[in-house]
Structure 1
Amino acid sequence: MAKNDYYTTLGAARDASADDLKKAYRKLAMQFHPDRNPGDKAAEAKFKEVNEAYEILKDEQKRAAYDRYGHAAFENGGAGAGGFDFSQAGGLGDIFDQMFGDFMGRRGGGGGGRATRVGGDIRANIEIDLSEAYFGTKSTIKVQTRVNCDACDGTGSEAKDRAASDTCSTCGGMGKVRAQQGFFLVERSCPTCGGSGRVIRNPCRVCHGQATVARERSLQITVPSGVEDGTRIRLTGEGEAAGAGGQPGDLYVHISIRPHAIFQRDGATILCRVPLRISQAALGGEIEVPVIDGSRAKVKIPAGTQSGEQFRLRSKGFSVLRSAARGDMYIQVAVETPQHLTRRQRELLEEFEQEATQHAKGSPEAEGFFAKVREFFDGKS
């Protein structure tokens, strides 16, 4: 039976780019994978056909030979893919490896090669003041981590026998194992060899073959200006060591900002609540307020200012992270009712209340509300 044209099998044009071929293959491989079509012989056959076509066309030399000679280039012992053995495909996990391995930023070895040992990631927490978040700061932290063992240079073996190791029987030297979890195949580092693919014959007496030892490290962290509460800073390669030939993990620093006694923050905006006496709000005037950078600013308060009104101070807020832009500062006034009045203050307020009753225009909001109340009750009667 004659084979279908490989380009036709993938639904791709003969001049398709490598990316276009890969996209076509991914779509069909997911569609016809036997794990998604259990018991469907036709789907399994189509899956094998799609894989055979892509195995040829993804290789530039094989593709050139196919374009020139067709299927004949790989017959009679040629260099082609031949019959595709699904048992060697590794199941749906391999499809995900090919599709998403690079996208997910995997640091381990891809395909069927040995996995690269990767050290563990570390988390550290630091707390800073609001002013430190405004200006930026440097902070020294201490972290408990693992570093390469000095006694064995991170090999895990005694100095006289560093090359002596055997292929791991659990993973067959691949450094990774797979386990079925429902529909998916989950891949992880081999628990026996830790991802190295080898088992040490004569372990180091200091690290007991682990290649790393526990140690406390001090690191200086640079906190950028404008950082927000909950920000996470990643320091690549500052995590736990993985032994000789391995890749260290990362350090993730989580930043929290202590509450400030005067200022509140909302992104790049700073809020400052300023209480005003009744006389200040009624008569108006000028007040002096602090600014986060340590300076002072004067704010003019118009006569008749109401509680809750805000006044804007441009560019007095936080800088926007990784930007030259700067937010604003808002002064929100809160008119405070006086307490613990002196006799004279009470007399003055009583005089004021008498005047206010006769001249209601001084409190239009109150007068308007009670006018509506009177209308409400008049309508009821």
Structure 2
Amino acid sequence: MAVINSNQLRTVRIGFMPLTDCASLVMATECGFDRQYGIRIVLSRETSWANLRDKLGSGALDAAHVLYGLMYGVQLGIGCQRQAMAVLMNLSRNGQAVTLSRALAEQGALDGPSLAQHMRDCPRSTTFAHTFPTGNHAMLLYYWLAAHGIDPLRQARALTVPPAQMVGSLRAGMIDGFCAGEPWGQRAIDEGVGVTAVSSQQIWPDHPGKVLGTTAAFAASEPATCRAMIAALLDASRWIEASQANKEHTATVLAGTAYLNTGRQAIAARLFGQYDNGAGARWTDARALRFHGDGEVNFPYLSDGMWFMTQQRRWGLLREDPDYLGQARAVNRIDLYTGAAEMTGTQLPASSMRSSTLIDGVRWDGGDPRGYAGSFPILDQ
């Protein structure tokens, strides 16, 4: 498959949020993987997911490091004007967390069961923050709370807070807990204001994280550019995981003022799977944040996209069941990903569907999304 002429670099404007899982975008530019495919990635650090969404939709950005669930929310017109979107690849897997305040921890709420008991014993208003109403963190937070018998819409209050403001909001007592990407869970522990109640990989083992997203119009008009972006990020993802030294260098670069602008150690700890929950428990997580995994991380599985729609339906964000499989086939551009995989020698999976068993013991495989969405005991109609 032809690569864009390297003598005429195509500038591509890509937005990102200051999170550890933007690493492949950063290293693609820092190490020059983009230029090997005839493009020059220009990164734009954004302040909120809503701002990033609007810039992506208006064309101010060509593509973005973006929440999986946000892409489907825009595709389906949830809380915004409907616009056809394209998921080009998955950028990460695992590596998010639910953090509870130190005040809750001191009252015995350290995990799901103890939080549920505390909320039964002390029925006051409890406020949790996520990063975007249709996004990954909202859906994972709601799923976790519901798995422990807490209705996130009736028994708690949910707020939308940008990731970088989570720790400050927790310190100020504005929220009692949050779900967000790293390094903000680790930062809450380092600053003594929170404890990790559960990692996202404990909620959904090997769940998809952020994606490389664009509009369907951009994907249709510039397929070669899309393949070049995917290829560059596949190479960067592979490079990050190739050695301990590469991960160390990645943590150092991410900590810089142009990217996360935070302490290197807060990034490095969980990037290497070294977890400290802030309440005495420490462990090495075999399912920590991943970027490549021989391509297993990056493939845009249809079942992953469908899961977010089932949860949006479950919580009343969608008032009717969408065409789950049809929408996933329209959004997840497996054709463009496959072309880039061939360019980079990246292995493809045997199926566009995969299965997982989540924290409540319920298995998800994409086979019956309508039945799955309607099977939960907590469903906001």
In the superposition, the TM-score normalised over structure 1's length comes to 0.21
The structure with the largest helix share of the pair is 2
The structure with the largest strand share of the pair is 1
> Higher relative CO (CA 8 A, sep ≥ 6), structure 1 or 2?
2
* Bigger radius of gyration: 1
